[in-house]
A = this chain, B = another copy of it.
């Protein structure tokens, strides 16, 4: 049975799974990323976890391993390194692919960033199978993107293409990291939705249906649910988010002219409350040759397994 190994490196946890050619996760294990502040010690632990997954898989099947794919924050496909990740404890440049090649005997080991891995996952296992030109958007703590042009993922000259979350949408807008202001992910990620909700309360005053909840525990999902149940401030929040996202997707569409955008992540589960205003704003901001032909579609990747599946897709084809 042909299997790939997918590794999802997050700031808190690392998940390792064996993935079938149909995109099913057979075996998986997890360990804490934030126990490690040294990339080499981390690579030792990761190699051990990969061996555990391979052994566990061999108990039930006769696996033929196609390789190991890794999705990581600031993972660079061209260099095989994790470069200056803002939310991992091992800083600087960690040449993870070469560290793992020294520790594991596998046909191929590849690394990319998490959003690119999701895009490849959508192309190999998800709803983008028949699309040669599309853009994957992942909405979570940040906003990531992976861009396909002509059936190829766009890496750019240095491996860093697809940082749509950092494009400027509101001149002199909200403060973000790096001393910059007004970038998309400060508005349209799960974190951005929370910030907009508080801005709406500030502007409109009064009470909301989430008044009973401790401030720090209010999530984008709570706000989407509140909108669904008729809370006007939550509805205004989701509407604002969709309008801004639609405008940013329209600008992006003008650049690479994809046939579709695939949206993935917690906020996307709000469905039409977010996607309705996104689509309307998107169409409004397109010039005529682009109107009424570019789709905005929910990702078909399963929420829980998407990162592992996407990483495995790097070596599945």
Which of chain B's residues have a CB closer than 8 A to the CB of A251?
A: 167-168, 251
Name the residue of chain B whose CB is nearest to the CB of A177. B287
A129 within 8 A of B: no
Binary contact readout A158-198 vs B (1 if CB under 8 angstroms, 0 otherwise): 11111110111111000000101000000000000000000
Known A162-B255, A164-B254: A152·B155 in contact at CB below 8 Å: no
Hey, which bits of chain A sit against chain B, CB under 8 A?
74, 83-84, 131-133, 145, 147, 149-150, 152, 154-164, 166-171, 178, 180, 247, 250-252, 254-259, 285, 287-290, 293
Residue picked from A74, A133, A289, most chain B C-beta under 10 Å: A289
> CA separation between A147 and B252, bound complex, in Å?
13
Q: A293 vs B170: C-alpha distance in the bound complex, in angstroms?
A: 25
Residue of B nearest to A254 (CB): B163
Given the complex, which residues of B lie within 8 Å of A257, measured CB to CB? 154-163
Report Cα–Cα, A186/B114, bound state, in Å. Answer: 36
Question: Shortest Cβ distance from A172 into chain B, in angstroms?
Answer: 11
Q: Which residue of B lies closest to A181 (CB)?
A: B285
A168 — which chain B residues lie within 8 A by C-beta?
247, 250-251, 285
A257 to B84, CA, bound (A): 17
A83 to B285, CA, bound (A): 20
A138–B167 alpha-carbon span in the complex (Å): 21
Contacts of A170 in B (CB 8 A): 171
Taking CB as reference atom, which chain B residue is nearest A167? B251
Q: How far is the CA of A164 from the CA of B133 in the complex (A)?
A: 17
